[in-house]
Structure 1
Amino acid sequence: MLGMSKSIFRRLLFSYLATVLIGLGISGLLISFFAKEYFYNAKQQELLRQAKKVNVQINDSRRVNARLLEQLRNLDETYDVRIWLFDADGKIVATSMKDEVFTGKSVAMSIANKVLNGENAVTELKIDGLEDPMLSVAIPWGEGEEIYGGIILHAPIEGIERTFAQMRETILWATLFGVLLSTAMVSYLSWSISRPLKKIERTATEIGRGNYAERVKIDTADEISDLAQTINTLAEKLERVEQERHHLERVRNDFLANVSHELRTPLTAIQGFLEALQDGLVEEEEARQKYYAVMYSETMQINRLVDDLMDLMKLENNEVTLARFPVDVAEVINKTAFAFRPEAAEKGLEIEVALADNLPKIYADKDRVAQIVKNLVKNAVKFTDEGTIRITAEPDGEWVRMSVADSGIGIAADDLPRIWERFFKVDRGRSKKNKGTGLGLAIVKELVELHDGTITVESEPGLGTTFTVWLPTVEKYRQAQAQ
């Protein structure tokens, strides 16, 4: 992560610096070029205007005399320019300066010829005797078409150069400031990016190690925050998948252990009785018949276990097809209550049935509904030692609500979420007394949901349990099919 941070810092730094340097550099060059061109053109035009004014002042003088020299000196002070006059031969005949170092010298023939032909000339000259370069303009000296020679005005350009030097210095300082500012901005930006990325990396590492409870905590509102939220969502999904995997693994292990136990117990009993019969240890016919009855009972227990397992597997794999028809719930409940009354009477229990008048029919598989009611009543009889089992049914809007309530041992609050699991038994300490496969409620739940219904349970230890089932009426089923 540190290397990534450094890489981000370098890329941001180089991009910012390149932007600043190139931007300010190009801007500085363009400003210098256009500004210098503008100032030079302005100075040239000013010198040309001044030269024409000088010509107006002296165009009545054809010869150099004291009066002309005095005029040149006055004009020099007025315009702050050096003034030269040259004749038709290109020789300097007068200057506005007191010394005469340039008098008698010749100007460049190209300039002289151009001026004598009536044209203006502008040039930047390095004049012997002057340290600084001068900007010079030359115009014809004369009146009308009569030209006596030429007038040259010199103006030092050191002021312009000094201005451009200051401008370049300003651009340099601005560039330096931009570099420092860019470095500071890049440092902060890199820190603001790398810090949450480090958190994301640490969290991703922990998730990679299997710690799916780890989360990224970032308070910003940008793309990095979106990335962190995505990783948190992924971690939550992985955590749920891992929990589900552990749950399924536990269920699988419990399933194998329970199946092994449920099969081993009756098989061990059958094996023992068969060995006794084979060895001739049981000689009396009455005793042998008892052995046969026990083996038959254990065989039926194995058969019920296999049937329940097959039913549950088919239900979970959606391999059960319901034969739906209008079903009279009252008929199913009365037949079930009648079938279980002898078994309940042996334990001193009473089964009560309370059915509402004009109970609507449900649209369901009659055999599967009977299986639901039988499993619930069987559990009630099994886990109730004294008291009453009450079966009720009544309309509830577009549903028929059926309840099976007992006054038995009840179910602990911690066990309630698990009663729908395969082989789970709430009477683990009494399993020898109450034989069963532990699949009844799992099958009931699957059958209720297959009918688009709902099942709930309410229970208190020592006070009893109530299972309530809602199944759709014929009218509701038809309305659902019509939509």
Structure 2
Amino acid sequence: MLKNKVGMKLGFVIIAVFIVVLSILGVTIDRMFSNFYTSEMSTEVDELATHFAMMAQTPDAPTEEMLLKFADFSNVSIFYVNKDGKVQDYSGEEELADASFIHQGDIKTIFSGQTIRLKYESASGNRYFVTAKPIVKEQAGESQVMSALYVLSSSKHMDDSVVAMRRLLVLSGIGAFLLALGITWIVAHLLSRPLLQMQQATRKIAVGELETRLNISRDDEIGSLASAINNLAEDLQNYRDTRQEFLANISHELRTPITYLEGYSKVIKERLYSTEEERDQYLDVLHQEAKRLQHLVDDLFELSKMEEGKISLSLEWIDLTEVIDNAVHKLQLKASDKGLALSTNLNRSTSWVYGDGLRMEQVILNLLENSVRYTEQGEISIMLDQTDSYVFVTVKDTGIGIAAEELPYVFERFYRVEKSRSRQHGGTGLGLSIAKKLVELQGGEIFVNSRLGEGTSFEIRFKLEEQGGSI
């Protein structure tokens, strides 16, 4: 079983990012709540210190003993300190009795009329918020600082609240982490599963299982990649099938002339003929089969060069009427020998086309030879004309025609209209394939229309171009 390495890596990345984000968020929330509690606690101690100081400063102020009791009710500790820094009276925790939080420098500041704020930690580890204010009274018409009032509030409740909040954050973080872990596993699995399918499919394709296809329908890059792999597999399969068919066809096409060459040469070598005339007939067969074999090899070589893009074209502005006249002149005798009429209908004012004159003549000759080969009686006509958008050449015959279901295959290599009569009609089965390639290399198109028993029509089209331009 293949390990989901992509899924694991993706999962690790997502989890790492989540942990970093969760840690930053946890620290931020902790700082926010801690600062909030600290600020609230400090404000509360300040308010209590101000309240007790005002009570102590009023003319009908309660006694120090009453203020100490008020402090006990408020869960705070208060200290009365004179100018020398000695504690006159206090209330609250015993651990504060040593008054180690009182410093002479702070006393001077307080007796100058200012407020002191500080944090104090006792020997037992308890923390306190401390606010110290001056107690001002009227003496002989003047305001004088009589003593310093220290108010201390324990941060125990605040610390307990912060610890509880931190526990809640930790538990929430663990829960969020476990939830994220599950979601990450699902997301990583969903994202990596198509990649694993592609990996398996490409390995199958690599070992020759070209029928392999991916069933991934998505409108994203993964879907595009899957579609590209399917297209590649389809192209490779078509190439393999085409190659196998080509090898089978070429083997068949070569076997027949080689059999004739071998058989008749053996007859002549062993003098198995009766007369000189019979020997000449055998020699004629050998000559025809040798020509047929040479023609086949030439056609294969030319088609191979065209498919590899190695064929060179001498492109120039050419007059198709001249090209057609030359082709018709060369085929006139062959058509006459079969009793066929070869007629032309050429619009000699037709625009010139940008192409290779010799290759265009080769195309026209291929079409005319094809018509002569498959027409027993009637006529072959060739027409040249143009429309507003293209120039066209039509080669039409009254031959055996082509069945509708076979029309899509007429331009394939080694295609034969009537395989049972292929020896009678001759040809290599490559002429139309070569013609189509040559027309397309020159920027044109070729079409076929046919009715079985009535004849066939081939039409070549070239788009109208302004002479002196390029295609």
TM-score, normalised with respect to structure 1: 0.73
Counterpart residue identity of residue 205, structure 1: Q
Q: Please state how far the C-alpha of 1:365 moved relative to its aligned partner.
A: 5.5
Correspondence list, 1:204-283, <5 A: 204-210=199-205, 213-215=212-214, 217=216, 219=218, 225-226=220-221, 228-250=222-244, 252-254=246-248, 256-276=250-270, 279=271, 281-282=272-273
Report the counterpart of residue 381 of structure 1 in structure 2: 372
Q: 2:34 aligns with which of 28, 32, 35?
A: 32
Report the counterpart of residue 111 of structure 2 in structure 1: 118
| Identity level (%) | 18
Contact 1:328 1:361 in 2 (8 A): no
Contact 1:87 1:149 in 2 (8 A): yes
Q: Please state how far the C-alpha of 1:253 moved relative to its aligned partner.
A: 0.8
Report the counterpart of residue 183 of structure 1 in structure 2: 178
Structure-2 change in CA distance of 1:107 and 1:147 (3 Å): farther
Q: Please state how far the C-alpha of 1:423 moved relative to its aligned partner.
A: 3.0
The CA distance in 1 between the partners of 2:81 and 2:273, in whole Å, is 159
Report the counterpart of residue 448 of structure 1 in structure 2: 439
Q: Please state how far the C-alpha of 1:264 moved relative to its aligned partner.
A: 0.5
Report the counterpart of residue 196 of structure 1 in structure 2: 191
Structure-2 change in CA distance of 1:72 and 1:413 (3 Å): same
Structure-2 change in CA distance of 1:134 and 1:12 (3 Å): closer
Q: Please state how far the C-alpha of 1:255 moved relative to its aligned partner.
A: 5.4
The CA distance in 2 between the partners of 1:381 and 1:202, in whole Å, is 55
Does residue 1:71 correspond to 2:66, yes or no?
Answer: no
Structure-2 change in CA distance of 1:72 and 1:385 (3 Å): same
Q: Please state how far the C-alpha of 1:235 moved relative to its aligned partner.
A: 0.4
Report the counterpart of residue 64 of structure 1 in structure 2: none
Q: Please state how far the C-alpha of 1:354 moved relative to its aligned partner.
A: 4.9
The higher radius of gyration belongs to 1
Number of aligned residues:
448
Contact 1:123 1:135 in 2 (8 A): yes
SS of alignment partner, residue 442 of structure 1: helix
**Structure 1 stretch displaced more, 83-92 or 458-467:** 83-92
Report the counterpart of residue 62 of structure 1 in structure 2: none
Report the counterpart of residue 431 of structure 1 in structure 2: 422
The CA distance in 1 between the partners of 2:119 and 2:463, in whole Å, is 107
Report the counterpart of residue 355 of structure 1 in structure 2: 345
Report the counterpart of residue 59 of structure 2 in structure 1: 57
SS of alignment partner, residue 411 of structure 2: coil
Unaligned runs of 5+ in 1: 59-67
Contact 1:341 1:351 in 2 (8 A): yes
SS of alignment partner, residue 176 of structure 1: helix
Unaligned runs of 5+ in 2: none
Does residue 1:415 correspond to 2:412, yes or no?
Answer: no
Counterpart residue identity of residue 217, structure 1: I
The CA distance in 2 between the partners of 1:297 and 1:107, in whole Å, is 130
Q: Please state how far the C-alpha of 1:322 moved relative to its aligned partner.
A: 6.3
Does residue 1:342 correspond to 2:336, yes or no?
Answer: yes
SS of alignment partner, residue 57 of structure 1: coil
Contact 2:373 2:425 in 1 (8 A): yes
SS of alignment partner, residue 456 of structure 1: strand
CA deviation string 1:151-197 (max 9, x = no partner): 64555x24x53244224323432442243234324422431232231
Q: Please state how far the C-alpha of 1:271 moved relative to its aligned partner.
A: 0.8
The CA distance in 2 between the partners of 1:168 and 1:394, in whole Å, is 96
Counterpart residue identity of residue 454, structure 2: L
The CA distance in 2 between the partners of 1:232 and 1:146, in whole Å, is 90
Report the counterpart of residue 384 of structure 2 in structure 1: 393
Contact 1:203 1:214 in 2 (8 A): no
The CA distance in 2 between the partners of 1:443 and 1:334, in whole Å, is 19
Contact 1:354 1:392 in 2 (8 A): yes
The CA distance in 1 between the partners of 2:317 and 2:105, in whole Å, is 121
**Structure 1 stretch displaced more, 359-368 or 192-201:** 359-368
The CA distance in 1 between the partners of 2:90 and 2:31, in whole Å, is 38
Counterpart residue identity of residue 231, structure 1: L
Report the counterpart of residue 311 of structure 2 in structure 1: 318
Q: Please state how far the C-alpha of 1:54 moved relative to its aligned partner.
A: 0.7
Q: Please state how far the C-alpha of 1:149 moved relative to its aligned partner.
A: 6.7
The CA distance in 2 between the partners of 1:246 and 1:73, in whole Å, is 108
CA deviation string 1:375-403 (max 9, x = no partner): 32322232234444343333334644222
SS of alignment partner, residue 384 of structure 2: strand
Does residue 1:463 correspond to 2:462, yes or no?
Answer: no
Q: Please state how far the C-alpha of 1:83 moved relative to its aligned partner.
A: 6.4
SS of alignment partner, residue 467 of structure 2: helix
SS of alignment partner, residue 381 of structure 1: helix
Report the counterpart of residue 166 of structure 1 in structure 2: 161
Structure-2 change in CA distance of 1:110 and 1:201 (3 Å): closer
Contact 1:216 1:231 in 2 (8 A): no
**Structure 1 stretch displaced more, 76-85 or 387-396:** 76-85
TM-score, normalised with respect to structure 2: 0.75
Contact 1:407 1:465 in 2 (8 A): yes
**Structure 1 stretch displaced more, 401-410 or 78-87:** 78-87
Quote the RMSD (CA, aligned, Å).
4.5
CA deviation string 1:235-288 (max 9, x = no partner): 034224303431442254145414522540441244134224xx3x44644444
Does residue 1:478 correspond to 2:467, yes or no?
Answer: yes
